[in-house]
A and B are shown apart, each in its own frame.
Chain A
Amino acid sequence: MTNTTIAVIPALRQAQDRPGCARAGIQHRRTSWIPAFAGMTAWVLCAAAHAQGTAYVSSEKDDALTMIDLATLTVKGTVPTCKRGRHIQVTPERRILVACTDSNVADLIDPATGKSLRRIPLGDEPEAFDLSPDGKTLYVSNEDEAEASFIDVASGKKLQSIKVGQEPEGVKVSADGKTLYVTSEVASLVHVIDVASAKVVKNVKVGKRPRRMAITPDGKELWVTNELDATVSIISTATHTVTDTVKFEVKGARAQDITPVGIVMTRDGKRAFVSLGKANHVAFVDVASRKTTKLVLVGKRAWNLALDKAEARLYVVNGLSDDITVVDVAGAKAIKSIPVGRVPYGVVVFE
């Protein structure tokens, strides 16, 4: 907390336009460092809570990442990258890694300089990926070849490649690094892959067009969004069977327009955020009761999403309106939409 007056004041002015921000700020009262009157404290803390950091947004038609300043919620620049950037993540070494479907590589970007450090070949048409817990192996879905590949990050060599159902998409590795999950959009399956033997050990039938996944922090449940079913399938990681299904409903939207894609969970595993695609909403789901508690209107075809470190703000990528929506989690309200690149795809928050 070394914010100077210069840093705080512009942020403060921003905050005054955003009532949701004040509520978010109150949660951090314990960390108060300005003994001012109550209202003032909330404003300043709000700015302080979001002061440092950048959201990086990939977009399919720009060959660049858009950088958003978390304090001002404005675009502060772009980083040139490979062609048709899609899935984006922060590596354990705190670098930005983005998979590019048309360049067949991942671009490793140093956030300090905004420059590419190196490119890692990922095989044909990579879409989504995950990293082993030690960061040494990359697991990637190769869309056109219907394969899941293991890539050695250091050498860029393909270690394994496993045939899966058509249009593999989501890739998620368990916390212990032993099990890999890959969705196939066409086969409506989640492939359970034993990492050690590089073999599919089970195919779990889920809803239509499964896309992304999240694992509960206790490791017991795998949540899978089903784009053409308006549902999330919950798979027990012990038995690899579907134990529950969360069905989404949005007032005024028909079932066929509710197309869940992105999913992210809070660190305590109590809440999941699911983007509902063409229904243009994000659902807040209570993990224990499987109930949707809030629905927040965002942009067109809400796609992938990310939480900031404080879990106070949710960044939602809108695939058809070329922008992202920043949602205040406590107030369950969109606070700002920010234009980004053309056909934005993924987002990471780097703090």
Chain B
Amino acid sequence: MRRGLAALALTLLAASAASSATLKATLIVPADDARQERARLERAYLGHPGGPASDGLQLALEEGRFELEAAGSAVSLATQPAATLEAAKAAAQAAEKGGAAVLLTDLPADWTLAVADAVKLPVLNLGASADRLRQQDCRARLFHILPSERMRSDALAQTLVSRKWSKLLLLVGASAQDQQRAATVQASIKRYGLQVVASKPYKLSADPRERDLANPLLLTAGTAYDAVWVVDSDGEFARALPYRTVLPRPVVGDAGLVALGWHAQFERFGAPQVSRRFAKANKRPMTDHDWAAWMGGKALVAAASAEPKGPNAAWAQALAKTPIDGSKGTSLSFRPWDGQLRQPMLLTDGQGVISQAPIEGLMHPTQVLDTLGADAPEKLCKATR
């Protein structure tokens, strides 16, 4: 019996070696990434990257080795830094020529689009949350793992509904990104029937002449509200807002209670094991961006083991349709109408996970996860998949 089993094992190994095919993937990242500067990383703002995307990606590939070996397949990863949009495009084309089956990007929105347009390969967007990439500027082969801004604001709006905190004071920064995100927040507020009692701009300043714009006490006085929703893509103003409001009301949005795709303190569904493995390998806590990168690696492993022999076209198909396990309690899949990975969201104060969205009891005709982000009937995406 023993000898028989050993012989069987040998045959299996031989068989897998003979049919082994390697899925080549290339990760394109900014050469000089302002988000990755030390001073920025040290702030550890919620919703901002905590380190390079390759950390999570490598971990997932490492973890997938057993599954890939069992399937008789393999994944190889190259990383290409790009200094400009043009360079990103060139890197994408070079990767395609070099036989890459999938590209992964952790790039600004317009660079991501340039990459998607430069090649005929599936592109996994790991780091750009802009709604336009899922809506009017969507692309047929562009997939998004990081939750969209709309998913984040929908998750928060649902949570406010469940708490019956319906009157909101909105504080919005001046940057173009803040303005765009504020429009998304307003759409979520409308969708879930919440009410904005006042919307005010703020400014980071110590100038006494600008104190109406800069002083949290002055900004939060004069109206009654249940919560303050702050939109601050930079993070510095929002961080200083909780406990500095005139009324004893919670702050939500980019500080206080924040909606994210992942938090290292999430306790359910095997999540602590994932966070622990990440922390062990990279000596830092796993952020939502790290989770997205890790899931990018998981998607590659899933595609390679679903179609062990490839070729690239088969992997591209498998990537779009193979559900992946993100340790969030349910199998996750890409929405066919905009390429976004549907997923539960976590509401965190930075110390722990307070709750999840979709909130309990919320109904949807087909898939309750589609209450987060642009649902099929609202899609602006015209690309056909």
Residues of A in contact with B (beta carbons under 8 Å apart): 143-144, 146, 163-167, 178, 184-189, 194, 196-197, 199-203, 205, 208-209, 228-229, 254, 256-257, 259, 278
- Among B252-266, those with CB < 8 Å from A are none
Q: Is the CB of A201 within 8 A of B9?
A: yes
Closest A residue to B277 using CB positions: A144
9 nearest A-B residue pairs (beta carbon) = A187-B67, A203-B70, A165-B66, A228-B331, A201-B5, A166-B63, A256-B330, A187-B66, A194-B5
- Complex Cα gap A203–B325 (Å): 19
Shortest B186–chain A CB gap in Å is: 30
Residues of B in contact with A (beta carbons under 8 Å apart): 1-2, 5-6, 8-9, 12, 63-64, 66-67, 70-71, 270, 273, 276-277, 280, 323, 325, 329-331, 367-369
Mind listing 8 A-B residue pairs with CB under 8 Å?
A164-B66, A165-B66, A165-B67, A178-B1, A199-B6, A202-B8, A202-B12, A208-B325
Q: Provided the pairs A178-B1, A185-B270, A229-B331 are in contact, do residues A201 and B6 lie with their beta carbons within 8 angstroms?
A: yes
Q: Is the CB of B71 within 8 A of A194?
A: no
- Complex Cα gap A254–B64 (Å): 29
Q: Is the CB of A201 within 8 A of B66?
A: no
Closest B residue to A203 using CB positions: B70
Closest A residue to B326 using CB positions: A228
- Complex Cα gap A97–B331 (Å): 33
Q: Provided the pairs A164-B66, A186-B67, A257-B330 are in contact, do residues A202 and B9 lie with their beta carbons within 8 angstroms?
A: yes
Set of chain A residues within 8 Å of B273, measured between Cβ atoms: 143-144, 167
Set of chain B residues within 8 Å of A164, measured between Cβ atoms: 66
Set of chain B residues within 8 Å of A188, measured between Cβ atoms: 67, 325
Q: Is the CB of A259 within 8 A of B329?
A: yes
Q: Provided the pairs A256-B330, A278-B329 are in contact, do residues A187 and B270 lie with their beta carbons within 8 angstroms?
A: no
Q: Is the CB of B66 within 8 A of A205?
A: no
Q: Is the CB of B8 within 8 A of A209?
A: no
Shortest B360–chain A CB gap in Å is: 10
Set of chain A residues within 8 Å of B71, measured between Cβ atoms: 205
Q: Is the CB of A184 within 8 A of B66?
A: yes
Set of chain B residues within 8 Å of A143, measured between Cβ atoms: 273
Q: Is the CB of A166 within 8 A of B66?
A: yes
- Complex Cα gap A188–B66 (Å): 10
Shortest A189–chain B CB gap in Å is: 6
Instruction: State which of B1, B66, B330, B369 has its C-beta within 8 Å of the C-beta of A228.
Output: B330
Set of chain A residues within 8 Å of B2, measured between Cβ atoms: 194, 196-197
- Complex Cα gap A278–B276 (Å): 25
Q: Provided the pairs A178-B1, A205-B70 are in contact, do residues A186 and B63 lie with their beta carbons within 8 angstroms?
A: yes
